[in-house]
Structure 1
Amino acid sequence: MKHALILLLSLIPIITLAQADQINSAISKQGEAFLKHKDITSVSIGVYKNGQTYTQHFGSLVKGQDVAPTDQTIYEIGSVSKTMTGYLVAKAVIDNKLNLSDEVTQYLPAGYDNLAFNEKPITIQHLLTHTSGLPMFLPEDVNGLFESLSPDVPQKYLEIEKHYSKAKFLKDLESVPLKQAPGNEYAYSNVGAELLGYILETIYGQNLDKLLQEAFLSRLTMRNTGIQLSTEQKNLAKGYWMNNEQQSPNQLNTLWGTAGGVKTNMEDLLKYMALQLNSENPIVSESHRELFARGKTAQVAYFWNVWTDKYGTSYNHHGGTSGTQNWLYIFPKYKLGISIITNNSGPKTPTLLNKTVKKLLKEIVKD
């Protein structure tokens, strides 16, 4: 028995080295393939596996220039921000600050009788699962803007952001009509995620960046993650809308940022993956709890998309702005996390990102 244990321990460095070679080879192969697609000029890939981290970066952040991304490049991660919002809500549940069955109107001033349909009110759970019936965006001018695929989408969105505020959001929310009872149908809503930002700040009496810091950023030393980054953090990347030659402006985030306002780098995202793979963390476990069924294999947790297949139960979320897109996947069965970020945003980018993650997964786990 003693000799067998010594033999096993002696093999660990070899196994670790083989794993590293396998993962690095897979990242290199898929990164180079990703870069060959039309309009793609850069991609960053990060993998967390069994406590080890792997990153590679490809191409240039600026068309026609040699500006390579690095682990320190800060990106807008769009709706992947919602998973961090979900973590804060799960913490609030554990802290007994709120319940999933709470009506959202109990956290709002008087005058929001419209946030119910046939006396069935919108609850916290409805916001988390995109079943509230609230629209995709407020103000209404944004709805349909990105679907137009017009070259000037980034500039139009910037102009709308410049003239919108939290006060205007709350005013517009008073007149949003619900067309059916909440809780029945999945309909993606950034409005619901921003409303959760308002509720979180209300119940804790602190802004979102402070809540994120106290919840996990400080503990994990995620120094380059936040909604309002410091002026010293100048590595915030810009990207391209479709085939535009001009870079898109960064988002202003005039609301709470809980729908898509977080910026971070690959170094911090790897730490976030480690957090999400820690099943002993009660907040993580709560945030992964399935709250709404979208079919036999698809569920929704605290904003996480939950999927069950031969790779076990996994958690994922896509995020996009008018300049960047990314996809984050968590595979607990394999103690594996994958993040892929590109500085191009177009209608075909999400599918390309997702297919690349699936190819990486297949090469890494070899099931």
Structure 2
Amino acid sequence: MKVHVQLLAMIALLSSCGDSASKAPPAVPPVPVTTDTVKEEAMTFSTTYPGKVVPLKQVDIHADVQGYVTAIQFKDGQHVRQGQPLYEIDKRKYQATYDQALAGLHNAEAAMLKDQQDVDRYTRLYQQDAVAKQKLDYAVSAQKSDQAQVESAKAAMASAETDLHYSTILAPFDGTIGISQVRLGAVVSQGSTILNTISSDDPMAVDFQLDEKQIPAFEKVLRQYGHIDSLFTLYLPDQTRYPAFGAFYTKDRAVDPQTGTITVRITTPNKTADPLVAGMSVNVRVLNPLGGPQVVIPMIAAVEQMSEYFVFVVQDTVVHQQRIRLGPRNGGQVVVLDGLKPGDVIVKDGIQRLHDKSVVKIK
């Protein structure tokens, strides 16, 4: 009887195991996703470069004569006009030297005039055989010597006049002058003491560095779209947009062999309420309107794996992983250079739970 009960228990256990083995695993439910249809559209993207505000003209102001600073005729940081007096170097010595040179010139000219009159008189007398030829020769020689003295006196006066002129230092162009490096009473040396720095402030220039690999594309953009006002947009350090657009000015003559970049310079008007200041850091956004329609998808639809990008293409209710090659971006949109065609349906949201050949349910 005991053996019979154990036999029945074993049969029941085997029967139970058989039922468990025959059951199929539960089906994986479709993954809910949202999709987007690949389309072509005209695409405009931009590249942003760090830039530095620089003046188109900037010079250090030196003294061309030596002496004490006797006048400073501006306020630090003020806007000055071309020809406006800035500094005055003690001019008493230079004025005296000029007056002396002028007097010397007058004396030389008077002596030359007297000798010229002698030459004229002796010439008439010689023609009448009333004076010896030697007397005329002496007069002609004295007149030539006086003429040389006049030329020397003129050169001395010009030199003295230049020094007197340089004792007043004038603004070389319109611009903003900095903080004076000397004060009243300071002794300045000719050509070596920097008194100040002046820089032009309207228009203002902005320099940025362009990678040598981007030069051909940049040149193409300039040729095709250089007339567009918004080709260059500036953003200030607080990320606000500068109200005036930039215009291409020039690029440097050569690529820097150390950095592999070339300097590009643009200019912009600087008459706004918050003007650009030399040395300020800004960002330069360069537009690059692509020619013709481009295949465009949302950037969030692309998955990066090992430096490559993929999307999930929907076919009926199954997705297939497709490798793509991306181009330039503009905000949340990106150009697809290869791997998709207009009309393809791709997964936009719900990518995290997908793999190749996943079954999906489109929301």
Q: Judge same fold: TM > 0.5, yes or no.
A: no
**Higher relative strand content:** 2
| Structure with larger RCO (C-alpha < 8 A, sep 6+) | 2
TM-score relative to the length of structure 1: 0.18
Larger radius of gyration: 2
TM-score relative to the length of structure 2: 0.18
**Higher relative helix content:** 1
